Amino acid sequence: MTLAMASKTPPDSRAAETVIQIKLVPRSSKNQILGKEGEAYRVKVTAPPVEGLANEALIELLAKKLKIPKKDLEILSGQRSRLKSVRVRGISSEEIGRLLL
């Protein structure tokens, strides 16, 4: 007699995915999230916009504020621009808004 075990993932345990807009200000006096400016979150980082340092600082700051691992954040567009689209996995848009504001 064999037991067939189905590996089903409940729908509520699937990781949520949200894309947020970021307006990044590099070379600031400190790392901080200033709030929303239109649809984009305004974020300041101390790192310069050289060799991806400002992007790395952005990912570190977002991971810390959202309490998620850095691997759950991905810059989708704007790697070389101040306006960026960032994919956030594992957290809802409502929760992102609450934690960043």
Q: What is the pLDDT of residue 1?
A: 47
The whole-model pTM stands at 0.84
**44, pLDDT greater than 50:** yes
* Six token digits for residue 31: 């790392």
7 within a domain of the structure (yes/no): no
pLDDT band at 3 (very low <50, low <70, confident <90, very high): very low
**24, pLDDT greater than 70:** yes
**11, pLDDT greater than 80:** no
52 within a domain of the structure (yes/no): yes
Separation CA 32–CA 12 (nearest Å): 32
66 within a domain of the structure (yes/no): yes
> What average pLDDT does the structure give for the chain?
89
The residue range of the domain holding 70 is 16-100
6 within a domain of the structure (yes/no): no
Q: How many structural domains compose the chain? A: 1
4 within a domain of the structure (yes/no): no
78 within a domain of the structure (yes/no): yes
Give me the DSSP letters along the chain: ----------GGGSPPEEEEEEEEE-S-SS-EEEEEETTEEEEE-SS-SSTTHHHHHHHHHHHHHHTS-GGGEEEEE-TTSSEEEEEEESS-HHHHHHHH-
pLDDT band at 60 (very low <50, low <70, confident <90, very high): very high
43 within a domain of the structure (yes/no): yes
Q: What is the pLDDT of residue 15?
A: 59
Tell me, what CATH number does 50's domain have? Answer: 3.30.1200.10
For residues 54-58, average pLDDT: 98
8 within a domain of the structure (yes/no): no
Cβ atoms of 85 and 19 within 8 Å: the answer is yes
**14, pLDDT greater than 90:** no
